[in-house]
Structure 1
Amino acid sequence: MELYPHLMASLQVGAVTLRNRIVMGAMHTRLETLDRPHERVAAFYRTRAQGEVGLILTCGHSPNREGIFEPNAPLFCDHSQIKEHRSITEAVHAAGGLIALQLLHAGRYARHPLCVGPSSDRARINPVVPRELTTEEVWQTIEDFAKATELAREAGYDGVEIMGSEGYLINQFTAILTNHRTDEFGGSGVARMRFPLEILRAIRRRIGDEFMVIYRISAVDLVDGGMSGPEVAELARNVEAAGADMLNTGIGWHESAVPTIAASVPRSAWLYAIENVKAAVTCPVIASNRINTPDGAERLLATGSADLVSMARPLLADPDFAKKSRLGRPGEINTCIACNQACLDRIFTDRSATCLVNPRAGREIEFVPSPIARRKKLAVIGGGPAGMAFAINASERGHYVSLFESAASLGGQLNLARAVPGKSEFNEMLRYFRTRLATLGVDVRLGADVKPSDFRGGGFDEIVVATGVRPRIPDIEGADHPKVLSYIDVLGGSSSVGNSVAIIGAGGVGFDVAEFLVGNEQESVDPETFFQAWGVDSSLASGGGLIPAQRKSPLRQVYMFQRKDEPLGKRLGKSTGWILKSRLRRANVEMISGVTYQRVDDAGLHYTRDGQLRVLAVDNVIFCTGQECERDLYERFKAEGIEVRVIGGADFAGELDALRAIEQATRLAIAV
């Protein structure tokens, strides 16, 4: 019996048959800005097609120069570009896949001087003020979408997706917030819907009915002045009537103050908005956002909430997601943990996307392991992210690997991370590592008291040390006071914590500890709690789907301190830091910068700020003051003349940087 019958069912859409119900959602990658761009993009999509995904949606390509997101962003408006696109479609088709080109006009989100919009209001997240499109230019843009669709067909794509969501140009036309026009494309709800409908009609006039056309609709805008649920349903019905073969659902605008895809958002939280679209139409509907396991996807499809599921980042994490699901091996799926560190955070800082749990993503032409000359016996000491990643990748290449871990379980500091509210997805990461190690037959030795003398005599060809980090203890008087705890004491559960707490250090670890202490755990796993905290109207009655947020009392009073005289959290992840800061502000966490620490004693924390000595009476003071490389064992190996390599935190102690550790370990394993 098939484990996922609904997820693995085929589906006929227009002239094409999807082999399953898994869609790789469109995402920005910036691969086109690197060297050998067409080769990189082709390899990226070919790898996902080989993994048996039902349909691939490309990153957004603008139909004209005004609509590109930024200089050098993808543009498809000329016949001269067809050849480069054929290299992509042919690569996907040769691997047995289907691929559709997403057409995206950025509108007022465009970061260049040609930026345009339905009106001249500047977006909150963009310093560029848009120029209002004339009526003639609106009609020309409609024709540009139709022409780009025709070009996509000539280039061998199996369809197009029209991006009408996430606050881009089409979405800007449908919302009162951004459409203040007085011509035939503004004013009433019917007039505001006209732009997307005319695009679909123009496309059908140009290419007929056989070519697949998907429309990505904003199921809920999550901005004041956005569309209500009934308006979204009406738009969905009209979009279907105008020629869309499928509707894909988008959630929220990029400028929304509500998170939509981070790990702090509960899985399948947006089902209520997707079901509103599904109930309005007869064509297939694709569900999206925070769907990252085959079990969750199967449940969603089995209940009839949608007909397909869109997964973007999960296909970064594991391009073989669909294949492993078909084979009934869900435990071997390298699950997306929604951390955004290597994908969105890199995109928002002008870099190309990859994946924390899968550093090969986007680098398929770089991570090509050469055949091994002989199978080596390798020892890796340390069972954290770096050690496990090295063991897995080296074993996959055919080497014999023994993994030594001093603790009773694998994971290292992953076991601390997964205790933090909003980071429960790290459980999936650890599950994948454990399952993969067992499947590959890696010799895992827990509770191992490793000594360099154990490795004399040539038992191993190479030894890799991945012993991680230890907390840095600051030079503060009273650092050994009973009130003082380290982040390991707190997140590891070995110490109880009082009702009032001072956290020294406001990097990522300090913010994680604050989250842990104020008690936000339900918000990341229970949709109703999440909706209340962020002011989401799951009834869809309000415009934009927003209502006033409800605050709950935090478990503790938390104070955060840092020496630097700058806002706390300035260096947190670009796409997730604002979420974390918002949650802590709601929990009344006080954030204090520009301090000099004096001492800790029975009275509490003594510190100086603005030249004044102050005392904060707290039950505990928690040190989150960085990490140091745990290199004692490495130094002992060197002292005894035994050659070893060092990776991960033992090599460089950053902010518990699993991204760097896993990539470094993977590269070394491929090179051995």
Structure 2
Amino acid sequence: MAIYPNIFKPIKIGTMEVKNRIFLAPMGTAFGEHKVHKPTERMAAYYAARAAGGTGLIIVEQSVVQQRGLWSLNGGGLWSDDFIPGWKKLVDRVHDAGGKIIIQVGHLGRSTIEAFNGGLKPVAPSAVPDHYLDNEVDELTLEDIEEFKRDFVEATIRCKKAGFDGIEIHCTHGYMLASFLSGRTNKRTDKYGGTLEGRLRLPLEIIQLVRRELGRDYPIIARLAAHEENGGRTLEETRVVAKALVEAGLDGLDISSGSYSELDWEIPPSYFGYAMNMDNIEKIKQSVDVPILASGRITEPRLAEQLIAEGRCDMVGINRAGIADPEWGKKAGAGDTESIRRCIGCVRCIDAVFSGALRCTVNPFVGKEDEIKITPAEEKKNILVVGGGPVGLESAILCARRGHKVTLVEKNYKLGGQVNSAAVPPHKYEVGSLITTQTYEAEKLGVDIITGVNVDVDFVKNSDADEVIVATGAKHIIPNIPGIDKPMVMTAVDLLEGKKHAGNRVVIIGGNMIGCETAEFLAEYGKNIFILEMLSEIGQNLALVPKPYVLSKLNRLGVEIYTEAEVTSIEDDKVIYEKEGNEYTIESVDTVVLAAGMESVNELAEELKSLDKPIHVVGDADNVDIIMEGLASVYDKLLDI
């Protein structure tokens, strides 16, 4: 009997039968052809890998019906027949991998950027600027709306010609159709505005037109946020909207949350609870009689099983869980949940999309599914990996998969490196799941793991290692400040790992991610926290989506923040700093925490150069950066060992 029988029951959405209840929710990858907006082999490989890994239904990211509505220089287009062949190739790859595939059809509306769409001014139901862009927006005329409807219908015809099993109409996250539905952004006084009935008019007309053109048998669903924050659409309004959309001809609803104006609700980070949207989704399900697709921090198979078994939704969206591990479905089906690489909720994937293309902290294969090939090594070697953090473990896993005999040695008695301290601040515990899964993988592959041993040159000389991988990580930079060696001074890592303890009044030197998260951790215990940062702002390396929340929380907790502040001296119970040429003192200080950046620990790497062995330096030992870059360096440097 299957461990998760309800997840793996087939389901019909209209005429389309999906083999299980798992779907990949739509999220931009920016894997399209740059400025050409056609799908690429890279995009096809990404989606096909998720289908091959057991995801029953793939929903391709938003692709737009007009060039004016683009979301990225690499976003997908549907406004010309020229796009059909590329989409057909992508569809074929997903079908060959055993999945069903639909595409999300939409328009970014007021949230587009002119640099993305060829310099065209954004349009929307009303001239309400985007929350983040604060841009100039033109209000659509009635003639514009008629053109938009025609273009939308023609785009969906192209989807059907390309072989998609259905389409999803994008009615959420503050983009064009969502802007019509929300009184926050729709200020029109004609038939397309005003009351909820008026705001519903355009989405309903589009559904009816598309249904008439594509036929009763072609599956059509829509994505809809359960609610919007900050004066947007309420849950009760959404229940009315959902019922009306279904009656207009939908076969299903894909329910998300939030909008582009509240990005953390749209893409919930780790400080949101699991299945954080389910109470709202369940109420919407009670209002309609079509399958409900649910998403929002559904990361664990046992949770997905429970939601389906209890009838709270009909399908579970694994979006970022599916990014982190494309074989989420296959592993859940086999009961091998220990090997699932969990999404850790860091939302670095969104930073990557906005700066180029989708990547994942825990999965360095994202976007390289056809590029990274792990093949058996021609010559099997003895490999010594020094360092048991995430990069050292990943190095050991890669080498073991290629058939090498691998020994990993960690100086501490606990694996994980700085992940152990990174997992301590509020809502960051999921980071530790990476080490748990990597350790499971490494042990399963036969890696010999030794802890509590410090590797030096003599250790390497006396080992049978043919090649050595140095993944010794990084350490805190100790700034040259008078008094830095006083007993009250400690590093953030030592504090978070419980090696040292803070008093009541704490000065944190450095306002980067480590400094901010340490401040949050201590402030939640009621301590009085001061952050001193040399730059003009704090949180420079916090991820885009959680950054506003973290900074707002520091403010709510009463953390005092001083930017452009240079610490000049630490005395027995005070910290002296300069700001704009003036000297200031924080009195009655119990503890000073150093969080002013990290530097590589690479002394061993330098010492090993004297040996007649190939030495490979990876991760922070080579270049200090985030975990995402460290894991990527493993596959950049070690694939040919």
TM-score, length-scaled by structure 2: 0.95
Kindly provide the amino acid, as one letter, of the partner of residue 50 in structure 2.
Answer: R
Measured on the aligned residues, the alpha-carbon RMSD in Å equals 1.8
Decide whether aligned partners of structure 1 residues 33 and 223 sit closer, same or farther in structure 2, where only a CA change above 3 A counts.
Answer: farther
- SS in structure 2 at match of 1:206: helix
Q: Aligned residue for 2:403? A: 398
- SS in structure 2 at match of 1:193: helix
1:185 aligned onto 2:223: no
Q: Aligned residue for 1:235? A: 241
Decide whether aligned partners of structure 1 residues 258 and 464 sit closer, same or farther in structure 2, where only a CA change above 3 A counts.
Answer: closer
Matches within 5 A, 1:272-671: 272-341=279-348, 343-349=349-355, 351-456=356-461, 459-519=464-524, 555-564=526-535, 566-617=536-587, 618-654=589-625, 657-671=626-640
CA distance in 1 between counterparts of 2:488 and 2:544 reads: 34
Matches within 5 A, 1:47-196: 47-71=49-73, 73-112=75-114, 113-196=120-203
| Structure 1 residues not aligned, in runs of 5+ | 520-553
Moved more, 298-307 or 330-339: 298-307
1:212 aligned onto 2:214: no
| Structure 2 residues not aligned, in runs of 5+ | 115-119
CA distance in 1 between counterparts of 2:388 and 2:133 reads: 43
Would you say the 8 A contact 2:384–2:406 is kept in 1?
yes
CA distance in 2 between counterparts of 1:280 and 1:309 reads: 19
Moved more, 484-493 or 611-620: 611-620
Decide whether aligned partners of structure 1 residues 434 and 664 sit closer, same or farther in structure 2, where only a CA change above 3 A counts.
Answer: same
CA distance in 1 between counterparts of 2:420 and 2:429 reads: 10
CA distance in 2 between counterparts of 1:453 and 1:590 reads: 49
Deviation at 1:449, TM superposition (A): 3.1
Deviation at 1:37, TM superposition (A): 5.4
1:130-172, Cα deviation, whole Å (9 max, x unpaired): 2111123223322322221111111010111111111111110
1:309-354, Cα deviation, whole Å (9 max, x unpaired): 112111111100000000001110011111122x1012223x1111
Moved more, 87-96 or 64-73: 64-73
Kindly provide the amino acid, as one letter, of the partner of residue 664 in structure 1.
Answer: S
1:28-73, Cα deviation, whole Å (9 max, x unpaired): 1111145995211111111111101010011111112222224553
Deviation at 1:371, TM superposition (A): 4.2
Kindly provide the amino acid, as one letter, of the partner of residue 665 in structure 1.
Answer: V
Q: Aligned residue for 1:541? A: none
Decide whether aligned partners of structure 1 residues 334 and 72 sit closer, same or farther in structure 2, where only a CA change above 3 A counts.
Answer: closer
Moved more, 103-112 or 258-267: 258-267
Between Structure 1 and Structure 2, how many residues are aligned?
A: 632
Moved more, 634-643 or 610-619: 634-643
1:253 aligned onto 2:259: yes
Would you say the 8 A contact 1:31–1:353 is kept in 2?
yes
1:468-512, Cα deviation, whole Å (9 max, x unpaired): 112111111111112211112210112221121110011111112
CA distance in 2 between counterparts of 1:266 and 1:82 reads: 40
CA distance in 2 between counterparts of 1:439 and 1:640 reads: 31
Kindly provide the amino acid, as one letter, of the partner of residue 314 in structure 1.
Answer: A
- SS in structure 2 at match of 1:614: strand
- SS in structure 2 at match of 1:291: coil
1:82-103, Cα deviation, whole Å (9 max, x unpaired): 1111110111111111110110
Decide whether aligned partners of structure 1 residues 187 and 658 sit closer, same or farther in structure 2, where only a CA change above 3 A counts.
Answer: same
Q: Percent of aligned positions with the same letter in both sequences?
A: 31
Would you say the 8 A contact 2:56–2:99 is kept in 1?
yes
CA distance in 1 between counterparts of 2:517 and 2:168 reads: 38
Deviation at 1:629, TM superposition (A): 1.4
Would you say the 8 A contact 2:124–2:179 is kept in 1?
yes
CA distance in 2 between counterparts of 1:216 and 1:355 reads: 24
Kindly provide the amino acid, as one letter, of the partner of residue 556 in structure 2.
Answer: R
- SS in structure 2 at match of 1:157: coil
Would you say the 8 A contact 1:60–1:102 is kept in 2?
yes
Would you say the 8 A contact 1:44–1:364 is kept in 2?
yes
- SS in structure 2 at match of 1:425: helix
Would you say the 8 A contact 1:369–1:671 is kept in 2?
no
CA distance in 2 between counterparts of 1:518 and 1:243 reads: 52
- SS in structure 1 at match of 2:32: helix
Deviation at 1:370, TM superposition (A): 4.3
Deviation at 1:6, TM superposition (A): 1.4
